[in-house]
Amino acid sequence: MSDSRGSAGQVTLDDLRVRIDAIDCELLNLISERARCAQQVAEVKLAAGDVGEDGQVQFYRPEREAQVLRRIMASNPGPLKGEEMARLFREIMSACLALEQPIRLAYLGPEGTFTQQAAIKHFGDSAVTKPMAAIDEVFREVEAGAVQYGVVPVENSTEGVINHTLDSFMGSQLKISGEVVLRIHHHLLVGPNTRREKISRIYSHAQSLAQCRKWLDAHFPHAERIAVSSNAEAARQVRTEWHSAAIAGDMAAKLYELEKVEEKIEDSPDNSTRFLIIGDSSVPASGDDKTSIVVAMRNQPGALHDLLAPFHKNQIDLTRVETRPSRSGAWNYVFFIDFRGHRDDPLISETLESLRQCAADVKVLGSYPVGVL
């Protein structure tokens, strides 16, 4: 080994760069070896005829990916943060999966939406993504088999549930195979023709305008607020329009080359949105899972109590309960319930069984790994 000390006993820049080059070389070889392993995994899966409910070989394994990322975060020695390290491995796995078979996804578009950002956060950059104009079109694209998975928003921490997504589940056989939570940062963006003091119109999606309402009241009380179909559409519009600004995220700012007049203008600092991954197949337990169900209750006194009693009895952690009008008959309601645990856990299957005794209908939308990143 060469002496890496400078004249004053210090490590020199050149020495450190030689070390970094050597480490990169090792990383390169190790990542390549990992990629060759993934290719062999694909051969094993093909030879075993390892097909899912959609009749296709299951190259993508959500539960395994969650376990890999959790292990990386748990054993990360630092100084990089666990989440940072997991993001690097997310990309390595995404590229490895693309060697087995590139994954195809539909998401709520247009390009530049937070949903696209969530899709890339969950599947990595090697996924082939296709923007759709509406949530029900994402469902239809997956149902038609044009893509393997879909990504749709389901709830926002400040604005609540996205009803279109819940309603789409009612008429669909698709299952939930994952969740991803994205911190939502809104920026005030302008095109090359607009200066801050000239802004008279502000475009965004209605939810984003609502999420920045206090900031807008304080800083742009006289600007007209115009709701459009998405943040990305707002960004596209102000690219060429004078005296106009958009509220949108980083992805749209980059895509339309807009200037950030002000960053992070959301009223609530921990504003986040949860997205669901929808597909055809059920996901085995990963060790830390959630289950989502829809329950139709009989219209009788004590129905809500009966619904919640089995969860209480078995000490199951409910993470969300949402009510929506059922589409069959006036004044009938269904409950969307999320809770910790996997449908194959004995306690969870017992709870689901008790629920079936008192409910008119129980549909399991899916058990899936708790979002890691």
Ligand X SMILES: O=C(O)C(=O)C[C@]1(C(=O)O)C=C[C@@H](O)C=C1
Nearest-CB residue to ligand X? 96
- Binding residues for ligand X, rule: CB under 6 A, are 38, 41, 59-61, 64-65, 68, 93, 96-97, 100
**In whole angstroms, how close is the CB of 157 to ligand X at the nearest point?**
28
CB distance 344 to 289 below 8 Å = no
Nearer to ligand X, 64 or 140 (CB): 64
Task: Give the shortest CB-5-to-ligand X separation in angstroms.
Answer: 40
The residues that are catalytic are 273, 275
User: Hey, what amino acid is at 66?
Assistant: A
- Indicate the burial class of 186 (C-beta count within 10 angstroms; 0-12, 13-18, 19 or more): buried
Phi, psi of 302 (to 5 degrees): 80, 5
Q: How far apart are CA 38 and CA 58, in angstroms?
A: 13
Q: In whole angstroms, what is the distance from residue 62 CA to residue 241 CA?
A: 43
Residue 332 burial (CB count, 10 A): 14
Say how many C-beta atoms besides its own lie within 10 A of residue 58's C-beta: 16
344 is written with which tokens? 């194959």
Residue with smaller CB distance to ligand X, 278 or 293: 278
The CB-of-56 to ligand X minimum distance in angstroms stands at: 14
Nearer to ligand X among residue 285 and residue 303 (C-beta): 285
Q: How many CB atoms are located within 10 Å of the residue 319 CB? A: 14
Q: Which two tokens stand for residue 351?
A: 């709870």
Q: How far is the CB of 86 from ligand X (least distance, A)?
A: 13
Between residues 36 and 312, which has the closer beta carbon with respect to ligand X? Answer: 36
